[in-house]
Amino acid sequence: MSVGIVMLVHTALGRAEQVARHWSVAGCPLVIHADVSVPNKTYHAFQKSMSDLPNVRFSRRHRCEWGTWGLVAASQSASEMMLKEFPEVRHVYLTSGACLPLRPVQELLDYLAVRPLTDFIESATTADVPWTIGGLDAERFTLRFPFSWRKNRYLFDRYVALQRRIGMKRRIPNGIVPHMGSQWWCLTRQTLSAILSDPERGTYDRYFSKVWIPDESYFQTLARQYSHQIESRSLTLSKFGYQGKPHIFYDDHLQLLRRSDCFVARKIWPQASRLYDAFLTDEAGAMNRTEPNPAKIDRIFAKAVERRTRGRPGLYMQSRFPVESRENGLTSSKYSVFQGFSALFENFEPWLARATGARVHGHIFAPERAEFSDGEVVMNGALPDSAALRDYNPRAFLANLIWNTRGERQCFQFSPRDNQDINWDIAKDPNAQISVISGAWSVPLFKSNQDFADIRRDAALLQQIESKHLEILRSSWTKARVRIWTMAEFIEAPIEPLQTIIDDIAPHTTQRGLSEVPKMIDLTGFGQFLQNLKNQGMHPYLMGNFPVSHDLQDTRKNARKPYLVR
């Protein structure tokens, strides 16, 4: 008993011959079908080159265009020839010229010998398969497809649309249930001959010749009628890429293919000499009785498809540039923005770095330069601190910073003095965690040595900028995690908000509470300062309510007794 190989070839005949010899020498009879598109001269040379092999036949040639009936017709005539000419054949294995046996042929023979009645053909109903491309699944069997999808895409689409509109439906003959699956099967003589000599075959052939991609459904459907035992899987490792094009294996896939334990793989790049050399030297001794295991390769492919469709979030490059609505956020990982904290606390940045272990930058959108942590002038990825480069494309600057430091949490300070062009981008970024003490920009003014007229002017401007920013942060488009306190609220009870922020950044490090809190700037006289602004006709409101007198006592108390260990 042996296995007969039906091989469909159309290009790279040299490789096809090499593989055919491999099968033939190992004792597998072959029937080769060459596409009509192979020029006669080439075909005859090909035939002649294999004339020394006694168990190779060539079947009648059909035109095999992808997705058409020709492929089925070719398989049919080659299979008929196989069954007739080689009576000792028990299993017929359908392969292509780009298939490569990965394991010694003897192992395949042994494997099939202990499963003499099993048909290996992937076969599932249309409702159950996820792999159909282009939305045609059940309709493959109920519409007509006289136009080539490859050559006449327009007519193909128009005719499908027309049939859909007028509700044209084909009747499926004899109540068969359409099944689909990989076109590379291995059937027993019993099943295959039953399909080929069925008295109803004319009906089925007529029906399937108008089905779309019949080579994925003809044998898959009819095998269900006759088989005693179907293993619904293909013995051929054949992967399909993102758009339903067969995946090609190259030299660098050698290890991957070795580990797959599959019997045959397609499709092999014709110039992949390393693969052909490695797998066509029959290691007779290396008996390997493991089951084929394409799952390993599947995982790698799933990952690749994900990379193709989702990409690496937060990465912008020459071949990935998502339009705004398609990217869920600007950046690759979480980061925190602090507004007002460094104005209110003397040593906020080093304190935050100690408390969270994150990298804490200064005002990276400051007008003079990007104040990276520890006074660095160039950050990871050679990102420079130049304000001009940053302001030229602030989105790219922020996305770069977060991408370049992936694996390390980034925190930075922000204030109404900084470049505000980035506000919407941060607000719409779900990776951003924004904490704002509104009105805290007034503290540096309060402490400054400017003329009061200038202070008043600056305060009005900054308040205007910040209130616009707060409007953005409170808008319904905002996806960032936003927390806003007025300054008055915050200094009333600063520990709790600080604790929540820290817990958000580093949930595991501070389970027992803060061991240290940053030192607040002395606010003695701040209430009076605000009152002075009011007296000058400006209305400072973002900092909340600071009564002139009460505030004095309050902050004095604070100054004497800074917040301490809890």
Partner 1 sequence: MAYRLRWKRRRLLWRSFRKRRQLSAVIDRTAAIRPGAILAFSTVRNEAIRLPFFLDHHRKLGVDHFLIVDNDSTDGTREYLAKQSDVSLWRTPHSYRLSRFGVDWLTWLQMRHGHDHWCLTVDADEILIYPFHNTRPLSALTNWLDQQGKVSFGALMLDMYPKGRLSAQTYMAGDDPRQILQWFDSGNYLIQRHEVLNNLWIQGGPRARLFFDRNPVRAPTMGKVPLIKWNRRYAYVSSAHSALPRRLNHVYDTAGGEFASGILLHTKFLHMIAEKSEEEKQRREHFENSSLYEAYYDSLAGDPDLWCDRSTRYRGWRHLEALGLMSRGTWL
CB 221 within 8 A of CB 211: no
Q: Of 307 and 447, which has the nearer Cβ to partner 1?
A: 307
Nearest residue (CB) to partner 1, 47 versus 380: 380
The secondary element (H helix, E strand) that includes residue 499 is helix 495-505
| Residues contacting 8, CB < 8 A, separation 6+ | 33, 35, 64, 71, 74, 75, 78, 94, 95, 96, 97
| Comparison of 114 and 388: residue with beta carbon closer to partner 1 | 388
Q: Which is nearer to partner 1, 286 or 388 (CB)?
A: 388
CB of 318 vs partner 1, minimal distance in Å: 5
The minimum distance between CB 358 and partner 1, in angstroms, equals 19
Decide whether 278 or 396 has the Cβ nearer to partner 1: 396
| Cα separation values, 362 from 352, 467, 534, Å | 11, 22, 31
What is the DSSP code (8-state) at residue 53?
Answer: -
- Minimum distance of partner 1 from residue 561's CB (angstroms): 44
CB of 182 to partner 1, least distance (A): 19
What whole-number distance in Å separates Cα of residue 187 and Cα of residue 167?
37
Quickly count: other Cβ atoms within 10 Å of residue 419's Cβ.
18
Q: From the CB of 313, what's the least distance to partner 1, in Å?
A: 8
> Do residues 384 and 376 make contact, with C-beta atoms less than 8 angstroms apart?
no
For partner 1, the closer CB: 271 or 515: 271
CA-CA-CA-CA torsion for 82, 87, 88, 89, nearest 10 degrees? 30
CA pair distance 457, 46, nearest whole angstrom: 90
- 489 alpha carbon, distance to own chain's centre: 45
Nearest CB to partner 1, comparing residues 57 and 395? 395
Q: Which is nearer to partner 1, 76 or 238 (CB)?
A: 238
Q: How far is the CB of 243 from partner 1 (least distance, A)?
A: 7
Instruction: Tell me how far, at minimum, the Cβ of 373 lies from partner 1, in Å.
Output: 13
Q: CA 246 to CA 242: how far, in whole Å?
A: 9
Residues at the contact surface with partner 1, assessed by CB under 8 A: 241-243, 245, 247-248, 250-252, 269, 271, 300-301, 304-305, 307-313, 315-323, 326-327, 378-384, 386, 388-389, 392-393, 396-397, 400, 403-404
In whole angstroms, the minimum distance from the beta carbon of 19 to partner 1 comes to 19
Shortest separation between residue 247's beta carbon and partner 1, angstroms: 7
Nearest CB to partner 1, comparing residues 284 and 305: 305
Per-residue 3-state assignment (H helix, E strand, C coil) for 115-155: CCCEEECCCEEHHHCCCCCCCCCHHHHCCCCCCCCCCCHHH
Q: Return the number of the residue (301 or 541) whose C-beta is nearest partner 1.
A: 301
Give me the sheet containing 335-339, strands edge to edge: 359-363, 410-414, 335-339, 432-438, 481-486
**CB 62 to partner 1: min, Å:** 23
Distance separating the N- and C-terminal Cα atoms of the chain: 84
Residue type, 374: D
Cα dihedral 340, 343, 346, 352 sign: positive
3-state secondary structure of 4: strand
Nearest CB to partner 1, comparing residues 346 and 374: 374
Q: Where are the alpha helices (DSSP H) in 105-261?
A: 105-113, 153-165, 189-196, 201-208, 218-226, 254-260
**Alpha carbon distance 178, 401 (integer Å):** 54
**322 vs 444, which CB is nearer to partner 1?**
322
With beta carbons less than 8 A apart as the criterion, state whether 182 and 236 touch: yes
Q: Least CB distance from residue 305 to partner 1, whole Å?
A: 7
**Cβ-based neighbours of 441, under 8 Å, separated by 6 or more:** 340, 343, 415, 416, 417, 462, 463, 466
**Closest listed residue to residue 111, CA positions, set 38, 186, 41:** 186
Q: CB 66 → partner 1: shortest distance, Å?
A: 11
